[in-house]
Chains A and B, each alone.
Chain A
Amino acid sequence: DAGVIQSPRHEVTEMGQEVTLRCKPISGHDYLFWYRQTMMQGLELLVYFNNKAVMDDSGMPKDRFSAKMPNASFSTLKIQPSEPRDSAVYFCASRRPGQFYNEQFFGPGTRLTVL
């Protein structure tokens, strides 16, 4: 199994630009999570999906962030317009259906730098 795939691995952009982060979950997993990690805040959950539907996006700044999951094998996290404070590592994770205690599998992350 290829694991959770994220792209790009690194992104450098200028303030005000649109940024799109991509995630491919593990095949057969029906939960998908987006996290953000910074030195100051640690690892924070932004949004998660179950069967492509948003279940909780309370951690996501809605004025500039949007998350979509158009099909079971692809999700995007978009930031428009980007700001320097959005600089962070963004992780995507997926979880298989069934028991609630199933582990989450994390991708390698996308390191975003907004200048």
Chain B
Amino acid sequence: DAKTTQPTSMDCAEGRAANLPCNHSTISGNEYVYWYRQIHSQGPQYIIHGLKNNETNEMASLIITEDRKSSTLILPHATLRDTAVYYCIVRSNTGNQFYFGTGTSLTVIP
């Protein structure tokens, strides 16, 4: 599976959009981009995934560049409860393993 690169930490003001970037320049054609988050002391939680089209659900939006070498997770109106570590994962359609990496620690500031 392709390796991902994320910033170590980010801050975001409460109520503003949080934009979390992820680079996956070695992604291959059959690999999906997944985002999970882990709130302190809890298990990881699925947020969203996509292949090449932008995706939106009740939690977030996922923007994938046309060349698929990077993506951005958008939390449209960040709240204090969105403070967590966010993991960008690339996984093939033939694998069941997730490699979580180190993620981005997002702090939402009041």
Contacts and interface: CB of A to CB of B under 8 A. Distances in A.
The interface residues of chain B, by DSSP majority, are classed as loop
Contacts of A33: 96
Interface stretch (A65-73, A77-85, A96-104): A96-104
Contact of B43 (A31, A56, A91): A91
B49 interface: yes
A42 B102 contact: yes
Interface residues of A, number: 22
A31 B96 contact: yes
Nearest to A58: B97
Given A42-B102, A101-B32, 19 more contacts: A42-B100, A43-B38, A43-B87, A43-B100, A45-B98, A45-B99, A56-B96, A56-B97, A91-B43, A91-B44, A95-B96, A100-B93, A100-B95, A103-B46, A103-B49, A104-B46, A108-B42, A108-B43, A109-B42
Contacts of A4: 43
Interface of A: 4, 31, 33, 42-43, 45, 48, 50, 55-56, 91, 93, 95, 100-101, 103-109
